[in-house]
């Protein structure tokens, strides 16, 4: 049994929910075992919002991503990175962690460099099927390289993606066809940042679907896209049709949404893929076409290869095509059940515990 006396772990994660929520799962697990946990994040990331009320000590450095930024910001990059490393060094000196765990996002880069300079061991976890740029750099000096999926890195330790305890314990039953009229429940997820093309095309697809296909819909738009998505729905659907559709910016308890839904239309971020597998739910995956190294497509293939999901590529993603796909799954319980069973075959049940123990193992070397 690993001792936890005076053990301090600094968890680095930021930017999007796909990095933050696995980090939160690990943080909660460690805190439940009386390990001291502090969080290193960025003031510009979603972690500022997501960590509110979580009773996790949070420390911030000034760093943001460079993709899509102007030339001036890129020219400033060396100065900004140096400043962020200096800030992280100060935090590490104050907190004195036994180990630093990087869960991805741009905040992990300066934090890992600061840990290396401070001779604090670094462990990284890669959620995606393709390792991100920051983790590729950190992997050169990390003590352990934890991954969610196989064939991500030559020195990988496969742990799966940490998901919330509510997802792990969710008992979703297979559907029964009882021969009665039934409104299929469709969950649409755009991720923490939202997905503009999903928000534009899915309302138009639902408007095309014939009246004999009855649906209840929850559509999560992302914080920035609620109003514009509502406007698309109002312009495309009748008042009667809108009464069966709930549009929200974010879903606080995603486990309840999965429990409610019969099938899902969503992007293929790594955490979403792992959650879908754990829950066992039919999904139509629409990989973000501009994801770095096309990692969302590689993520989606993990479920698609075993028949647990269907992939719709960007050039296929039209309202007409999606109307056809949604109609098929809305009216085909057998297909949904088959995909649900197959998804559960690849779910890593003890991911949070395994990531935590691999990390703590380094702290005691």
pLDDT of residue 1: 44
Tell me: pLDDT of 9 over 50: yes
pLDDT, tens digit (0-9, with 9 covering 90-100), for 261-292: 999 999 999 999 999 999 999 999 999 999 98
The least confident of 24-33, 182-191, 309-318 is: 182-191
Tell me: pLDDT of 322 over 70: yes
In whole angstroms, what is the distance from residue 26 CA to residue 271 CA? 14
In whole angstroms, what is the distance from residue 264 CA to residue 257 CA? 10
CATH 3.50.50.60 fits 8-161+350-363, yes or no: no
In the chain, what percentage of residues exceed pLDDT 70? 93
Q: What share of the chain is helix, strand, coil (3-state, %, to 5)?
A: 45, 15, 40
Number of H-type helices and E-type strands within the chain: 15, 13
Query: Residue 285 carries which DSSP code?
Result: E
Query: Residue 293 carries which DSSP code?
Result: G
Bridge partners, residue 160, by sequence: none
In whole angstroms, what is the distance from residue 340 CA to residue 298 CA? 20
Query: Residue 43 carries which DSSP code?
Result: T
Question: Residues 116-123: contacts with CB within 8 Å, 24+ apart?
Answer: 116/141, 117/85, 117/89, 118/89, 118/92, 118/93, 120/10, 120/92, 121/362, 121/363, 121/365, 123/99, 123/358, 123/359, 123/362
In whole angstroms, what is the distance from residue 121 CA to residue 249 CA? 38
pLDDT of residue 210: 80
Taking the CB of residue 333, how many other CB atoms lie within 10 A of it?
Answer: 18
Extents of the domains making up the chain: 8-161+350-363, 168-344
Domains 8-161+350-363 and 168-344 share a fold: yes
Tell me: pLDDT of 65 over 70: no
Determine the average pLDDT of the residues in 8-26: 93
Report DSSP letters for 172-211, one per residue. PPPP---SS---EEEEEE--TT--HHHHHHHHHHHHHS-T
Tell me: pLDDT of 70 over 70: no
SS (H, E, C) 205-237: HHHHCCCCCCEEEEEECCHHHHHHHHHHHHHHC
In whole angstroms, what is the distance from residue 11 CA to residue 123 CA? 10
**Mean pLDDT, the chain, whole residue set:** 91
pLDDT, tens digit (0-9, with 9 covering 90-100), for 202-228: 999 999 998 889 999 999 999 889 999
pLDDT of residue 69: 58
Taking the CB of residue 224, how many other CB atoms lie within 10 A of it?
Answer: 12
pLDDT, tens digit (0-9, with 9 covering 90-100), for 83-120: 999 999 999 999 999 999 999 888 999 999 999 999 99
pLDDT, tens digit (0-9, with 9 covering 90-100), for 153-199: 889 999 999 999 999 999 777 765 555 567 899 999 987 778 999 99
Contact of 226 with 247, CB cutoff 8 Å: yes
pTM for the complete prediction? 0.90
In whole angstroms, what is the distance from residue 166 CA to residue 168 CA? 6
Determine the average pLDDT of the residues in 252-263: 95
Q: For residue 214, give the nearest of 78, 331, 87 by alpha carbon.
A: 331
Tell me: pLDDT of 332 over 90: yes
Contact of 109 with 137, CB cutoff 8 Å: yes
CATH class of 168-344: alpha beta
């Amino acid at each position: 049994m690993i001792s936890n006396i005076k053990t301090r772990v600094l968890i680095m994660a930021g930017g999007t929910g796909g990095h933050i929520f696995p980090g939160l799962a690990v943080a909660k697990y460690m805190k439940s075992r009386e390990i001291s946990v502090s969080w290193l994040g960025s003031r510009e990331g979603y972690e500022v919002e997501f960590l509110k009320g979580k009773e996790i000590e949070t420390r911030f450095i000034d760093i943001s991503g460079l993709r899509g930024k102007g030339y001036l910001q890129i020219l400033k990059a060396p100065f900004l990175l140096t400043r962020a490393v200096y800030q992280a060094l100060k935090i590490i000196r104050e907190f004195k962690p036994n180990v630093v765990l990087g869960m991805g996002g741009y905040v992990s880069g300066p934090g890992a460099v600061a840990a290396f300079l401070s001779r604090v061991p670094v462990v990284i976890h890669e959620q995606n099927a393709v390792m991100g740029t920051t983790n590729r750099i950190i992997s050169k000096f990390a003590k352990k390289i934890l991954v969610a999926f196989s064939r991500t890195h030559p020195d990988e330790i496969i742990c799966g993606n940490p998901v919330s305890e509510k997802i792990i314990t969710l008992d979703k039953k297979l559907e029964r066809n009882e021969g009665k009229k039934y409104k299929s429940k469709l969950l649409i997820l755009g991720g923490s940042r939202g997905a503009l093309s999903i928000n534009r095309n899915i309302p138009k697809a639902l408007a095309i679907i014939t009246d004999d296909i009855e649906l209840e819909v929850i559509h999560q738009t992302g914080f920035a896209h609620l109003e514009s998505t509502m406007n698309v729905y109002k312009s495309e659907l009748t008042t009667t049709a809108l009464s069966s559709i709930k549009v929200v910016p974010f879903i606080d308890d995603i486990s309840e949404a999965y429990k409610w839904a019969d099938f899902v239309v969503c992007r293929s971020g790594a955490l979403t893929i792992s959650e879908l597998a754990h829950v066992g739910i039919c999904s139509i995956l629409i990989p973000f076409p501009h994801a770095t190294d096309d990692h969302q497509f590689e993520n989606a293939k993990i479920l698609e290869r075993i028949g647990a999901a269907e992939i719709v590529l960007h050039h296929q993603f039209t309202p007409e095509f999606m109307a056809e796909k949604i109609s098929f799954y809305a009216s085909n319980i057998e297909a949904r059940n088959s995909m649900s069973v197959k998804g559960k075959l690849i779910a890593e049940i003890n991911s949070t515990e395994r990531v935590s123990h691999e990390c703590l193992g380094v702290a005691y070397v």
